[in-house]
């Protein structure tokens, strides 16, 4: 494996989570040692998006942020919150609008409210000319219906933490979306649909993410304390994804990093 050449971007890490409060600097050091030198910090509430931007500002050039409200918190997105989120999204360190979408698995917010909040955030993406960072669970039909009405005006996006099968994946790819692969692919119980899907995933549409501290890969040789996922484990996800895609890890790493740079408008690094 080309240890020195590896250059990965974790496009979805919840670094504002309180489980990182005691050792965030060490977490970033371990990530860098594993070749994960840039990360996108996920915003899931208005306050969380502000925190993500502040964290990104503390390590400009290495950390970036998204600004959004997760469907679990859709009930919090009133007119005032929408205006505040729209302002946060204009920050230069915000590279995407979201995490936004629909979650009918948990239904923590009423479904009609989720749909309204999703549409409002897609409108912010159009207004700010930024890509979208998407969440969908057990809501594919409504998700696609809402997204299709605006997708032509949106500058791309990623189906974050994709867990579906080939048909759903192809529908997203045909809409111009990238596919975010997490440690779900390492789950021998639940990851079989995803493992099959990535065999058909074009290299120019793949992105890699940990969704830390969630979704720690089940097959890590040594489970971390408290099963907290962290960005350094993206190397493990890279290897697993490459195996199912039938390519070399170095090839996948180069493609995923280039895709992230292009989608999020990040400076391209010299990898020669």
- pLDDT of 4 over the 70 cut: no
Q: Per-residue confidence at 268, pLDDT binned at 50, 70, 90?
A: confident
Contact yes or no for 131/125 (Cβ under 8 A): yes
CA dihedral for 174, 175, 180, 185, sign (positive or negative): negative
pLDDT of residue 112: 98
CA 225 vs CA 75, 216, 229: distances in Å: 34, 11, 9
Using 50, 70 and 90 to split pLDDT, how confident is the model at 1?
very low
The 178-181 sheet, strands edge to edge: 8-13, 36-41, 63-67, 94-103, 132-137, 157-159, 178-181, 206-208
Q: Which pLDDT tens digit goes with each residue over 100-152? A: 999 999 999 999 999 999 999 999 999 999 999 999 999 999 999 999 999 99
Q: Report how far residue 165's alpha carbon sits from residue 72's, in angstroms, rounded to the nearest whole number.
A: 24
Phi, psi of 166 (to 5 degrees): -60, -40
**CA gap 270, 202 in Å, rounded:** 23
pLDDT band per the 50, 70, 90 thresholds, residue 271: low
Q: Report the pLDDT value the prediction gives residue 225, as an integer from 0 to 100.
A: 84
Q: How far apart are CA 212 and CA 201, in angstroms?
A: 23
The 10 Å Cβ neighbour count of residue 114 is: 28
**Average pLDDT over the chain, rounded to whole?**
96
**pLDDT tens across 170-211, in order?**
999 999 999 999 999 999 999 999 999 999 999 999 999 999
Segment holding 32, helix H or strand E: helix 24-33
Q: Which of 187-196, 234-243, 262-271 has the weakest average pLDDT?
A: 262-271
Alpha carbon distance 33, 105 (integer Å): 36
C-alpha torsion angle, residues 42, 260, 95, 153 (rounded to 10): -110
Residue 230: pLDDT band with limits 50, 70, 90? very high
Q: What are the φ/ψ torsions at residue 40 (nearest 5 degrees)?
A: -105, 120
What is the percent of the chain with per-residue pLDDT over 70, rounded to a whole number?
97
What is the DSSP annotation of 116-171? HHHHHHHHHHHHHT--EEEEEES-HHHHHHHHHTTGGGS--EEETT----HHHHHH
pLDDT for position 223: 84
Residue 55: which of 87, 26, 25 has the closest Cα?
Answer: 25
**Stated pTM of the model:** 0.96
Q: Is residue 239 within a helix (H) or strand (E), and if so which, with residue range?
A: helix 234-245
Domains by residue range for the chain, with CATH: 13-264 (3.20.20.140)
Per the CB < 8 A criterion, the answer to whether 236 and 183 are in contact is yes
Is the model's pLDDT at 50 over the cut of 70?
Answer: yes
pLDDT digits (tens, 9 = 90+) for 107-116: 999 999 999 9
How much is the average pLDDT of 250-259? Answer: 98
| Mean predicted confidence (pLDDT) in 74-87 | 98
CB-CB contact of 148 with 112 (8 Å): no
Return d(Cα 246, Cα 40) in angstroms, integer.
27
Whether residue 136 contacts residue 172, with contact meaning beta carbons closer than 8 Å, is answered with: no
């Amino acid at each position: 494996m080309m240890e020195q050449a590896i250059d990965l971007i974790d496009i979805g890490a919840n670094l504002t989570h309180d489980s990182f409060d005691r050792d965030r600097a060490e977490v970033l050091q371990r990530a860098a040692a594993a070749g994960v030198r840039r990360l996108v910090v996920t915003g899931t509430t208005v306050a969380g998006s502000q925190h993500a931007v502040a964290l990104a500002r503390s390590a400009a050039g290495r950390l970036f942020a998204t600004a959004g409200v997760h469907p679990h918190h859709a009930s919090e997105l009133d007119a005032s919150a929408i205006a505040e989120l729209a302002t946060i999204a204009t920050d230069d360190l915000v590279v995407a609008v979201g995490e936004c979408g629909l979650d009918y698995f948990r239904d923590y917010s009423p479904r009609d409210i989720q749909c309204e909040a999703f549409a409002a955030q897609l409108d912010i993406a159009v207004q700010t000319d930024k890509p979208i960072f998407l969440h969908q669970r057990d809501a594919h039909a409504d998700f696609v219906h809402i997204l299709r009405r605006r997708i032509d005006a949106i500058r791309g996006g990623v189906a974050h933490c994709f867990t579906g099968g080939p048909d759903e994946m192809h529908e997203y790819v045909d809409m111009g979306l990238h596919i975010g692969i997490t440690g779900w692919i390492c789950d021998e119980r639940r990851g079989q649909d995803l493992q099959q899907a990535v065999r058909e995933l074009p290299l120019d549409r793949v992105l890699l993410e940990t969704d830390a501290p969630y979704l720690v890969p089940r097959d890590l040789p040594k489970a971390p304390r408290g099963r907290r996922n962290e960005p350094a484990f993206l190397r493990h996800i890279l290897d697993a994804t490459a195996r199912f895609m039938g390519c070399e890890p170095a090839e996948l790493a180069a493609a995923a990093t280039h895709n992230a740079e292009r989608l999020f408008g990040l400076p391209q690094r010299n990898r020669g």
